Chains A and B, each alone.
Chain A
Amino acid sequence: MRADTEQDILKTELWWTALVTAVVTAIMLAIIYAGLVHHINPPSNIETVDPKTLHLTGEFTEGNLGTRVDGSQITSRIVATQFAFQPQCIVMPANRTVTLRFATPDVIHGILVTGTNVNTMIIPGYVSQVHTVFTKTGDLLMPCHEFCGLGHSQMWATVRVVPEDEFKPGPDGRVTCDAR
C-alpha cells in the first residue's frame, strides 16, 4: 500500500469509502426490495387499548380469545399476562394468511414462534399485530421473550398449525385446541 504522500493516502481512502458506501447501499436496497416486493414491514400498529380495562373491552375479554374465522379473515386474539398466555394453545391453518392480535393488561411482554418470523413486542397500551403465513404443520412453541417479572421463564403457549383441510371452524366461527 502506498503512503508516500498525503495524496496517495487520500486516494486509497476515497476508494475504500466508495466501497463502504456501496456495501451500505446494497444492504439498503435489499431491505427496500423486500419491502416493495414481499411487503415486509416491522409489526408497527399504533392502535391503543387501555390496559387497565382490557378485560372489559369485548375484543380482548376472556371469552373472545383464541382463533376465529370471519369470512375470509382468520384472526387469533391472545392476551399475554403475568405469567401465562390466554389461551395457552391456539390453532392456525397452514398456508393461509392469518392475523395474530396481542394485548396485555399488565406489563411488557413479547412473543416469538419458533421456526418462523413471527415476532413482536407486546406493550401495555397497544394492540400488537402480526400478519403471517405458517408453512409447516405441527406444534410450535410461542414463549414470552421479554422479561415480565419473576415468572417469565415459565410463560409460553403452543401454536398448533394444522393442514388446511383439518382446520374446521365451529358454528360460531371459532377453532380451539380442545375441540380437536
Chain B
Amino acid sequence: MTHARRLTLAHLWVAFAAFAIAAVLGVWQMWARSPLPAPYLTAQAYFTSVTAHGVSMAYVLTTFMVMGFGYYVAETTLGRPLPYPRLAWLGFALGILGTLMAAATIFAGNATVLFTFYPPLTASPFFYIGLVLVVVGSWIWCGLMIVAMLDFKRVNPGTPVPLAMFATVANAVMWLWTTVGVAAELLFQVIPAAFGWNEAIDVGLSRTLFSWTLHAIVYFWLIPAYIAFYTMAPQAAGGRLYSDTMGRLTFILFLIYSLPVGMHHLFMDPQQSSAFKFLQMSFTALVAAPTLLTVFTISASMEIAGRLRGGKGYFGWIAALPWDRPMVLATGMAFFMLWFGGGGGLINMSFGMNAMVHNTSWVTAHFHLIFGGTVVIMYFAIAYAIWPTLTGRQPASLRHQRLQLWLWFIGMMVMTLPWHYLGLQGQWRRVATFNYADPVIAGWGPWVIVSFAGGIILLASALLFVWNLLEFHRDRAVVAPEHPPIYALAVHPPNRVPAALNGFALWNVLVLVLMIAAYGYPIAQFFIIDAPEAIVHRVTGGG
C-alpha cells in the first residue's frame, strides 16, 4: 500500500470512530430532552455529552475525513506520489494528540462549554490547545495539498489540474482563510483567559472572530460531498460530468462566498450593526448560487447517465439510473435532503424571518439535515467507493451498504422534520430538559418522541456503517479490482482552462478585498469604542 493510502485509511478510521461515539451520545441527548425518563441525566452529564457530540462530529469526523480524502484524491488524480509523506504523518499525529487532549478534558467534566465555546465561560486550557493542535495538523494538510498541486502544474505546464484535486485545493485554501478567525479568538482571547493570564474577555470581539470561521467551516465539511457529486457520482451512474467548467466555478464560488458571510450567525446580536449585517446577508444570499449550480449540473450529468442506460422521456432517465449502487443512491438521497435543508437555509439568511427561528430547534434541524444528512451520507458513499482500493477487498453483496444508507436517510428525515416544526413553535435550543408540566411544552412532547425515534434509526445506521467498513477488512470479502475508475470524465474534457480556473491567485485577492470590506470595521469597532469586557467564568473548578 502506498503512503497516501495508509494515510487515508488511518484518517478515515479515526473520523468514523469519533462519529460512532458521537452518534451514541446524540441519541442519549434526545432521550434526555424527551418526556421519557432518561438514565444518567444530570445537567453536568448532559452538557458534557453535548460538548463531546459537537466536538466529535464537527471537528474530528470532518477534519480527519477531509484530510484523509484529500490525500487519496491527491494521489489518485495527479498520478504522482504524495509530497512529504512524513509531514502528513506529523499532521495526523498532531490531530490525534489534540483529539485525545480535548476528549480527556471533556470527559473529566472540565470543558462543558459546547463546541462553540461561549466565552466568557472558559474551559480547561487543554481543551482549546487540543483543538488548536487538530487545526495545526490540518494546516499541514493544506500546505501539502497546495504543494502537490503546484508540483503537478510545474511538471505538466498547460494541463488543467483535475477537477477533484482543484476542488480539494480550493478547500485547503478556504480552510486557511477560515481558521484565521477562530485561531485569533483562541490564541489572543480564550487561551490566555483559560490559563488565568487574563481575568476578562471582550465577548463582542470573540463572537465576531468566531463568526468569521463559523460559516466557512461548514463548507470545509461539505466540499468532500460536492467533490463526490461532481466527480464520483456521474462515474458510478455510468455517465459523464455535464460541465467541468461549472464544477470549477462552483468550488471557486464556495471559496469566495463562504467567508464574508459569517455575520449571519450574529443577526440577533446587539454588538454588530444592521448595515454590516445587511452587507453580509447579501453575500449569504449568493451562497445559494454554487449549490443551485451544482443541483443543475449534477442532475444534467445524471440525465446523461440515465439516457445512456436507455431511459426515455422527461423522467424515464431517473428510473433507468443504477440505484443499486451506493454512490448513486446516496447522491439521490443527498439531493433530496439538500432541497429541504437549503430551503430552510434561505429562511435563516433573511434577517426578518431569522428572528422567528434563531436558536430554536429549526436551526438544529437545518444543520443536521444539511450536514448530518447531505454531507455525511456522501461521506458514507465516499468510504464505500474508496475502501475497496484501500484494502483490496470488498463484500460480495452491497445489500448492507444500501440498507445502511436507507436507514440514515429515513432516520434523518424522521428526526429533523419534527424539529423544524418544533422550532417554528418556539422550542429553544441547548437545553437538557423541558418542563413538560407547562401546557405549551406538553404539546411538543409527542413530536420530541418522534424525533427521538428518528435518532434511534440513525444510531442503528451508524453502527451498521462501522460494521460495513469492517467487512472490507474481513477474509470472507472478495478481491476488489485494483484500479477501478473512480472519477468521471467531463462530456467535453477540458484541454485548456484559463489560469483563473486552474489556480487561486485571483480569488485570494478578491477574498481579501471582501474580508476587509465585510469584517474590517466590524472588528475594528471594538478597539474604537473600547468595548467593556466580561469577567471570565471558569468551568474547571477552583473559581
A138 to B37, CA, bound (A): 31
Binary contact track A1-25/B, C-beta < 8 Å → 1, others 0: 1010110010011001100110110
CB distance from B203 to the nearest CB of A (A): 5
Stretch from A72-80, A85-93, A109-117, A160-168 contacting the other chain: A109-117
Known: A9-B242, A107-B121, A153-B43. A16 touches B293 (CB 8 A): yes
Q: Does B525 contact A (CB under 8 A)?
A: yes
Q: Could you tell me if A31 and B352 are in contact, using CB atoms closer than 8 angstroms?
A: yes
A82 to B47, CA, bound (A): 16
Stretch from A58-66, A143-151, A172-180 contacting the other chain: A143-151
Q: Could you tell me if A46 and B525 are in contact, using CB atoms closer than 8 angstroms?
A: yes
Q: Which of B46, B272, B292, B492 contacts A20 (CB 8 A)?
A: B292
CB distance from A44 to the nearest CB of B (A): 4
Q: Could you tell me if B300 and A3 are in contact, using CB atoms closer than 8 angstroms?
A: yes
**Chain B, Cβ-Cβ closest to A106:** B537
Known: A27-B285, A45-B270, A110-B359. A124 touches B44 (CB 8 A): no
Q: Does A43 contact B (CB under 8 A)?
A: yes
Stretch from B5-13, B429-437, B473-481, B506-514 contacting the other chain: B429-437
Q: Which residues of chain B are near A153, meaning CB under 8 Å?
A: 43, 46, 431-434
Binary contact track A98-114/B, C-beta < 8 Å → 1, others 0: 00000000111010111
Known: A1-B303, A13-B243, A145-B359. A46 touches B270 (CB 8 A): yes
Q: Does B273 contact A (CB under 8 A)?
A: yes
Q: Does A135 contact B (CB under 8 A)?
A: no
Q: Could you tell me if B358 and A123 are in contact, using CB atoms closer than 8 angstroms?
A: no
Q: How many A-B residue pairs have CB under 8 A?
A: 205
Q: Which of A40, A42, A107, A112 contacts B360 (CB 8 A)?
A: A112
Q: Could you tell me if A106 and B430 are in contact, using CB atoms closer than 8 angstroms?
A: no
Q: Could you tell me if A107 and B293 are in contact, using CB atoms closer than 8 angstroms?
A: no
Q: Does A134 contact B (CB under 8 A)?
A: no
Q: Which residues of chain A are near B269, meaning CB under 8 Å?
A: 43-44, 120-121, 123
- Count chain B CB atoms within 10 A of each CB in A34, A47, A107 and give the residue with the most: A107
**Chain A, Cβ-Cβ closest to B534:** A124
Q: Could you tell me if B207 and A146 are in contact, using CB atoms closer than 8 angstroms?
A: no
Q: Could you tell me if A48 and B112 are in contact, using CB atoms closer than 8 angstroms?
A: no
Q: Does B310 contact A (CB under 8 A)?
A: no
We find that the number of chain B residues with CB closer than 8 angstroms to chain A is: 78
Using a CB-CB cutoff of 8 Å, which residues 187-226 of chain B contact chain A?
A: 200, 202-204, 207
Known: A16-B296, A48-B529, A125-B203. A23 touches B430 (CB 8 A): no
CB distance from A33 to the nearest CB of B (A): 10
Q: Which residues of chain A are near B297, meaning CB under 8 Å?
A: 13
Q: Could you tell me if B47 and A150 are in contact, using CB atoms closer than 8 angstroms?
A: yes
Q: Could you tell me if B529 and A46 are in contact, using CB atoms closer than 8 angstroms?
A: yes
Q: Could you tell me if A23 and B270 are in contact, using CB atoms closer than 8 angstroms?
A: no
A115 to B350, CA, bound (A): 18
Q: Could you tell me if A34 and B532 are in contact, using CB atoms closer than 8 angstroms?
A: no
A52 to B201, CA, bound (A): 12
Q: Does B428 contact A (CB under 8 A)?
A: yes
Q: Does B426 contact A (CB under 8 A)?
A: yes
Q: Could you tell me if A127 and B537 are in contact, using CB atoms closer than 8 angstroms?
A: no
Q: Which of A3, A28, A35 contacts B282 (CB 8 A)?
A: A28
Q: Which of B121, B273, B435, B491 contacts A44 (CB 8 A)?
A: B273
Q: Does B540 contact A (CB under 8 A)?
A: no
Q: Which of A1, A34, A115 contacts B352 (CB 8 A)?
A: A34
A151 to B113, CA, bound (A): 13
CB distance from B256 to the nearest CB of A (A): 14
A49 to B513, CA, bound (A): 33
Q: Does B28 contact A (CB under 8 A)?
A: no
Q: Could you tell me if A20 and B288 are in contact, using CB atoms closer than 8 angstroms?
A: yes
Binary contact track B280-323/A, C-beta < 8 Å → 1, others 0: 01100110110011001100100110000000000000000000
Q: Which residues of chain A are near B120, meaning CB under 8 Å?
A: 106-108, 124
Q: Which residues of chain A are near B360, meaning CB under 8 Å?
A: 112, 145
Q: Does B150 contact A (CB under 8 A)?
A: no
Q: Does B268 contact A (CB under 8 A)?
A: yes
Q: Which residues of chain A are near B44, meaning CB under 8 Å?
A: 150
CB distance from B296 to the nearest CB of A (A): 5
Q: Does A96 contact B (CB under 8 A)?
A: no
Q: Does A129 contact B (CB under 8 A)?
A: yes
Q: Which residues of chain B are near A108, meaning CB under 8 Å?
A: 118-121, 203, 207
Q: Does B391 contact A (CB under 8 A)?
A: no
Q: Could you tell me if B352 and A23 are in contact, using CB atoms closer than 8 angstroms?
A: no
A156 to B435, CA, bound (A): 10
Q: Which residues of chain B are near A143, meaning CB under 8 Å?
A: 428, 431
Known: A9-B491, A23-B292, A28-B282. A125 touches B121 (CB 8 A): no
Binary contact track B33-75/A, C-beta < 8 Å → 1, others 0: 0000000000110110000000000000000000000000000
- Count chain A CB atoms within 10 A of each CB in B277, B355, B360 and give the residue with the most: B355
A156 to B434, CA, bound (A): 11
Q: Does A137 contact B (CB under 8 A)?
A: no
A120 to B531, CA, bound (A): 19
Q: Does A152 contact B (CB under 8 A)?
A: yes
Q: Which residues of chain B are near A49, meaning CB under 8 Å?
A: 532
Q: Could you tell me if B426 and A115 are in contact, using CB atoms closer than 8 angstroms?
A: yes
Known: A123-B270, A125-B532, A125-B534. A30 touches B350 (CB 8 A): yes
**Chain B, Cβ-Cβ closest to A19:** B292
CB distance from B317 to the nearest CB of A (A): 10
Q: Which residues of chain B are near A21, meaning CB under 8 Å?
A: 289
Q: Does B184 contact A (CB under 8 A)?
A: no
**Chain B, Cβ-Cβ closest to A27:** B285
Q: Which residues of chain A are near B200, meaning CB under 8 Å?
A: 52
Q: Which residues of chain A are near B24, meaning CB under 8 Å?
A: none
A149 to B350, CA, bound (A): 29
Q: List 27 A-B contacts (CB under 8 A).
A: A9-B243, A9-B491, A23-B288, A27-B285, A30-B350, A38-B352, A42-B351, A43-B355, A48-B529, A52-B200, A82-B537, A106-B535, A110-B268, A112-B428, A114-B425, A114-B426, A121-B266, A123-B271, A124-B203, A125-B531, A125-B532, A146-B118, A147-B114, A147-B118, A148-B118, A153-B432, A153-B433
* The 5 nearest A-B residue pairs measured at CB: A114-B426, A124-B534, A145-B428, A145-B359, A153-B431
Residues of B within 8 A of A (CB): 43-44, 46-47, 112-114, 118-121, 200, 202-204, 207, 242-243, 245-246, 266-274, 277-278, 281-282, 285-286, 288-289, 292-293, 296-297, 300, 303-304, 346, 350-352, 354-356, 358-360, 425-426, 428-435, 438, 440-441, 491-492, 525, 529, 531-535, 537, 539
A46-B273, A49-B532 are known contacts; what are 19 more A-B pairs with Cβ within 8 Å? A1-B300, A1-B304, A9-B491, A31-B281, A40-B352, A44-B273, A108-B118, A108-B120, A108-B207, A112-B428, A123-B269, A126-B204, A144-B428, A147-B47, A147-B118, A148-B118, A153-B43, A153-B46, A153-B433
